[in-house]
Amino acid sequence: MKKLLLTGFVPFLDYTINPSQQIVQALDRQQIGAYEVVGTILPVEFAKSAAVLLETYERVQPDAVISLGLAAGRERITPERVAINCNDGDADNSGVQVQDQPIAADGPAAYFSTLPIRRMVNRLLERNIPAEISNSAGTYLCNNVMYQMLHYLHQRQLDVPAGFIHIPASHELAAQMKRSIPSWSLDTLTAAIHTAIEELPA
Amino acid sequence: MKKLLLTGFVPFLDYTINPSQQIVQALDRQQIGAYEVVGTILPVEFAKSAAVLLETYERVQPDAVISLGLAAGRERITPERVAINCNDGDADNSGVQVQDQPIAADGPAAYFSTLPIRRMVNRLLERNIPAEISNSAGTYLCNNVMYQMLHYLHQRQLDVPAGFIHIPASHELAAQMKRSIPSWSLDTLTAAIHTAIEELPA
Amino acid sequence: MKKLLLTGFVPFLDYTINPSQQIVQALDRQQIGAYEVVGTILPVEFAKSAAVLLETYERVQPDAVISLGLAAGRERITPERVAINCNDGDADNSGVQVQDQPIAADGPAAYFSTLPIRRMVNRLLERNIPAEISNSAGTYLCNNVMYQMLHYLHQRQLDVPAGFIHIPASHELAAQMKRSIPSWSLDTLTAAIHTAIEELPA
Amino acid sequence: MKKLLLTGFVPFLDYTINPSQQIVQALDRQQIGAYEVVGTILPVEFAKSAAVLLETYERVQPDAVISLGLAAGRERITPERVAINCNDGDADNSGVQVQDQPIAADGPAAYFSTLPIRRMVNRLLERNIPAEISNSAGTYLCNNVMYQMLHYLHQRQLDVPAGFIHIPASHELAAQMKRSIPSWSLDTLTAAIHTAIEELPA
């Protein structure tokens, strides 16, 4: 059986819950299509997130990698098309804040996702789950781990599908926040990621 | 056992599905707390919607009335605080369009909902379902039926709790639309209305 | 020459500037059509805002009253259709916070604006200034002063046009805020209110 | 005197006006800092937009290139950080629609803007004009011409600053549309682009 490395993040900023973490915990060790899910939760720190991801990759030697992250404010499941070579944005969980900084000094401007993102979106829509391809994973930790995973695989010429999927907030998270943000049930979020995983190459 | 008249609407404008209709169909004839639900689906026509509602009221003689409507674009369950004496907005399903027109020539500017809207919102939030009181039901058919029901009860001095709850789009509806709108699973929408009904006076 | 009482508010919440105040200062003492503008700036306090407004009304004895307020997040000029008999929302500038509280214990649920709001919107659109009628002035101080002014005039059977116009943020305010909100130039905001005033009955 | 090639687009989709075109017409032949502006209007066609841009580049031999485009829905001036090697989205003005298609079969995934985008944003904010760096120029013609210009310069190893700036709708455009979108005055839009041009290397 093939192995899928599925990652989520711990809570960050003023989000007290991170549904990406809950989805990974729900799907960990499940068999989905040809894959067994190996779940890992990443810190939200520029100095650590990708290091933990790449160490886990080397230990697990997965056949595919999907990283998940919360995109508070989005109202659809959004597989990301591209990761760019840039760190920027709010301070991370360790208080580090960077601006306009390359992720890899020698790296290209961007990598395209090698996940079947169009097939994932089409299948989600067939199942009445709102989804669309996103053209920006931002410049925070989500983009960072996506870029670093693809950079690692590219440098080693490894033909392992990898990429990132952003998810809306969960109802539980949205109900706790003062400002209004779109939200989904955790069940639907988890079912959506299950559906996306089914589209990985067998 | 008390009776709750619960109404939804048929599809309208470019919304091919109306989740308010589906929720009413799901809860019809259920017993929730002290109430048995009597479900009715209303047309989306200035000349007919309230007529159907009031005829149903007279036939059923319910102990409470909750009307539901789709608020595409909203991301929370929103019990409405107030209905205003005004018809305006897009053309209805029969092609009739009106502007700045009183609903009742002799009616007051507005009626407040007589549902326990604050308790409904508080209970929904306790159950991690995003909710907030809305201060505008608009000026289309949702506001129209809310105003007319409250006007009818006021004129007859009937002490029957009545009002309106707007709901977000369902995933099924949002997945069919080209433009992106927030959406919830039909299960969560239905559970939310179930929760709101539980707050009716016993 | 007729007199128009034009009011704005001081800054509130985390808005360090209130463009409604700047517009009133810009138009104060100007002659617009048949009216001379008498400008006044109101506090943002449930206990004081309407008191200052009504004292000013009694002193000035104006022939029309337009109150202005900031609606951060809106992207159009929005004359308000209706004020409702309810105080609710964030704490005011004195720290007072209320919920679901009537403004006037003996007052009706709502008053409609007596300004020519449809003509104002039509004229603004003709001049390529985005505008639309709003159906909710909220439940904070903006709604409060609109309701109290209309209640005062109604009780005294005074036939003085009165109402409220919400405005988007100014560029200066938006540029200072971390979160992104729509904004207009102060010049365009001021020109829009000038245009609205031109529609007052001569 | 140096030459700046400044481009806008003709109207497209249901936008009857394109403010990027109006800004270019307003600034054409002006001297701004060390630069004389040479304005050109591009078609909105996958088969033609970049061809017209590159032909104009070869004829004019400018010292810098800034392309402008309308981002209806945005509320800030947004210099773009990156262009990606992908065509996708709605049909263009000739009816051509493409999906997930590379712009340049042999090109890299992306190019970063070589304009001083951080300095532009900082200067705009200093002047109370809302601005921020955008991390996605989309996958329509705006991204297409930005990618193709940077690809052309990269292949020829030309050290010419080039990139793209997205602008909000103008009030004139927004006032004509049924759906509400954020908008600015054409004067402020033009002043903002003037300010951005002042930040080009002298």
For the stretch B118-143, pLDDT in tens is 999 999 999 999 999 999 999 999 99
User: Band of the pLDDT at A138, cuts 50, 70, 90?
Assistant: very high
Whole-angstrom Cα distance, residue B147 to residue B103? Answer: 8
Contacts of residue D78, defined as CB under 8 A and 6 or more positions apart, other chains included, come to: D71, D131, D132, D133, D134, D165, D166, D167
- B112 to chain C: which residues are within 8 Å by CB? 84-86, 109
Contact by Cβ (8 Å): A37, A98: no
Question: Is some CB atom of chain C closer than 8 A to the CB atom of D134?
Answer: no
- C-alpha C68, offset from chain centre: 2
CATH topology of domain D2-198: Aminopeptidase (3.40.630)
Best of A121, A134, A171 to mutate (most B CBs within 10 Å, chain B): A171
Question: Which ipTM did the prediction report?
Answer: 0.96
Q: What is the dihedral of CA D63, D133, D127, C78, to 10 degrees?
A: 130
Give the model confidence (pLDDT) of A67-91 as tens digits: 999 999 999 999 999 999 999 999 9
- C-alpha A198, offset from chain centre: 16
Question: Is some CB atom of chain C closer than 8 A to the CB atom of D188?
Answer: yes
Whole-angstrom Cα distance, residue B118 to residue B138? Answer: 20
Whole-model pTM? 0.97
CA of D185 to nearest chain C CA: how many angstroms apart?
7
Catalytic residues of D: 80, 142, 166
Question: Is some CB atom of chain D closer than 8 A to the CB atom of A163?
Answer: no
Contact by Cβ (8 Å): C151, C163: no
- B187 to chain A: which residues are within 8 Å by CB? 185, 187
The residue of chain D with its CA nearest to that of C123 is D175
DSSP, collapsed to helix, strand or coil, labels residue B118 as helix
pLDDT score, position D152 = 98
Give the model confidence (pLDDT) of A24-47 as tens digits: 999 999 999 999 999 999 999 999
Question: Is some CB atom of chain C closer than 8 A to the CB atom of B118?
Answer: yes
Question: Is some CB atom of chain C closer than 8 A to the CB atom of B152?
Answer: no
Question: Which tokens go with B60?
Answer: 């059923």
Mean pLDDT for C19-41 is 98
Contacts of residue D98, defined as CB under 8 A and 6 or more positions apart, other chains included, come to: D46, D87, D88, D89
User: Per 3-state DSSP, what percentage of chain B is helix, strand, and coil (rounded to 5)?
Assistant: 30, 25, 40
- A174 to chain B: which residues are within 8 Å by CB? 75-76, 130
DSSP, collapsed to helix, strand or coil, labels residue B102 as coil
Question: Is some CB atom of chain B closer than 8 A to the CB atom of C54?
Answer: no
DSSP, collapsed to helix, strand or coil, labels residue A189 as helix
Q: How far apart are the first and last CA of chain C?
A: 10
Question: Is some CB atom of chain B closer than 8 A to the CB atom of C35?
Answer: no
Q: What is the dihedral of CA A117, A123, A124, A126, to 10 degrees?
A: 150
Question: Is some CB atom of chain D closer than 8 A to the CB atom of A136?
Answer: yes
Mean pLDDT for B141-151 is 98
- Asked if the Cβ–Cβ distance from D75 to C132 is below 8 Å, we say no
Contact by Cβ (8 Å): A69, A35: no
Whole-angstrom Cα distance, residue D63 to residue D157? Answer: 14
- A185 to chain B: which residues are within 8 Å by CB? 184-185, 187-188
Give the model confidence (pLDDT) of A144-163 as tens digits: 999 999 999 999 999 999 99
User: Band of the pLDDT at C144, cuts 50, 70, 90?
Assistant: very high
Q: Which of residues 73-92 of D touch C (CB under 8 A)?
A: 75-76
Cα angle, residue A167 at apex, residues A166 and A171 outer, rounded to 5°: 160
- Asked if the Cβ–Cβ distance from A185 to B187 is below 8 Å, we say yes
Contacts of residue D106, defined as CB under 8 A and 6 or more positions apart, other chains included, come to: none
pLDDT score, position B78 = 98
User: Band of the pLDDT at C39, cuts 50, 70, 90?
Assistant: very high
Q: Which of C75, C132, C180 sits opposite D183 (nearest CB)?
A: C75
Q: What is the dihedral of CA C151, C152, C158, C159, to 10 degrees?
A: -50
Mean pLDDT for D42-67 is 98
Contact by Cβ (8 Å): B68, B23: yes
Cα angle, residue B87 at apex, residues B83 and B92 outer, rounded to 5°: 115
Q: Which of D111, D112, D136 sits opposite A135 (nearest CB)?
A: D136
Q: Which of D108, D112, D138 sits opposite A135 (nearest CB)?
A: D138
User: Band of the pLDDT at B195, cuts 50, 70, 90?
Assistant: very high
- C144 to chain B: which residues are within 8 Å by CB? none
pLDDT score, position D73 = 97
- Asked if the Cβ–Cβ distance from C136 to B135 is below 8 Å, we say yes
Mean pLDDT of chain D: 98
Q: How many CB atoms lie within 10 A of CB C161?
A: 18
Q: How many CB atoms lie within 10 A of CB A48?
A: 16
Q: Which residues pair with B111 in a beta bridge?
A: B83
Question: Is some CB atom of chain D closer than 8 A to the CB atom of A138?
Answer: yes
Q: Which of C82, C86, C138 sits opposite B109 (nearest CB)?
A: C82
Mean pLDDT for A113-139 is 98
Mean pLDDT of chain C: 98
Contact by Cβ (8 Å): C187, D185: yes
Mean pLDDT of chain B: 98
Whole-angstrom Cα distance, residue D17 to residue D35? Answer: 27
CA of A162 to nearest chain D CA: how many angstroms apart?
16
Question: Which tokens go with A114?
Answer: 């090698």
Mean pLDDT for D9-34 is 97
What proportion of chain A, given as a percentage, has pLDDT over 90? 100
The residue of chain B with its CA nearest to that of C85 is B112
